[in-house]
Amino acid sequence: MSNWEILWQARDEFLIGFWRTLEIFGLSIAGAFLIGCGLLYLLEGSRKRLTMPLRIFIDAMRMLPFLILVYLLYYGLPSVGIRLDAWWTGVGALAVYHGTYFAEIFRSNRLTFPPGQIEAAKAHGFTKSKMFFRLILPQVIMQTRPLLGNQLIYALKDTAFLVIITVRELTAVANSLSSTYFIPTEAFIVVIGFYWALSVAMEIIIKQCGRFSAKRGFDNV
């Protein structure tokens, strides 16, 4: 039996791993997106006492290697009495880690937001939160689309790190097949194919969303 035939017979395991990766990725980027939006909202000026700690938190996260964050959460949290299973630790770590990147992407765009639009909103009776959710956030998201797309690909690749805390995602499947049957190259080539396919699909979706913002004149950003 050739190496490829062995892998073909293990196709269900690959599919399950792929599905898990998809689940983890989907949940964690949704979480990261919400965290990014939430942090941007909290950084909206009026809460001066919050700004400093939040900026420190965001920078600290961004400067931390993701692998170390995962280790810390999985092996460190139980020692302070918090026990999460590997799967939720992974999703949570990805969401928080990439959430801070999302926040940073949003924030740097927010700094370039035309003040005239804010004044127009105030003059029309908008309160801070309405203004944020109806006018600021939608534009910030449309304008940062290419950067967000990039960040999603980083997040996808980071799901592979979860193998170290025993999450049975795609890379873990390849890892265990390769050591069981000693076929490292082929197993990982299959896995690379999966990651590539996902990344390409994501790029296409993000590109398609670009038409939405181009219509509004945001394509030059």
Partner 1 sequence: MSEANTSETAAVSIRHLSKSFDDVEVLRDVELEVKTGEVVTIIGSSGSGKSTLLRCINWLEKPDRGSIHIAGQRIGVHDDGRAMPVRELAKVRAKTGMVFQGFNLWPHLNVLHNVTEAPIHVQGKSKREAEALAKALLDKVGMSHKHDSYPNTLSGGQKQRVAIARALAMQPTVMLFDEPTSALDPELVGEVLAVIKDLSAEGYTMVMVTHEMAFARAVSDQVVFLEKGLIIERADPETFFTTPKTDRVRKFLENHDTPSPA
Burial 97-130 (b: 16+ CB within 10 A, else e): bbbbbbbbbbbebbeeeeeeeeeebeeeeeeeee
Quick note: the x/- pattern for partner 1 over 198-217, rule CB under 8 A, is -----------------xxx
- CA-wise closest residue to 92 among 171, 141, 34, 144: 34
Residues 6+ apart with CB under 8 A from 190: 7, 14, 174
Q: Are 113 and 143 in contact (CB under 8 A)?
A: no
Is 45 one of the binding residues for partner 1 (CB under 8 A)? no
Quick note: the x/- pattern for partner 1 over 139-178, rule CB under 8 A, is x--x------------------------------------
Of the candidate residues 11, 47, 130, 207, the single one contacting partner 1 (CB under 8 A): 130
Quick note: the x/- pattern for partner 1 over 75-114, rule CB under 8 A, is ---------------------------------------x
Positions in the binding site for partner 1 (CB under 8 A) = 114, 116-117, 119-128, 130, 134-135, 138-139, 142, 215-218
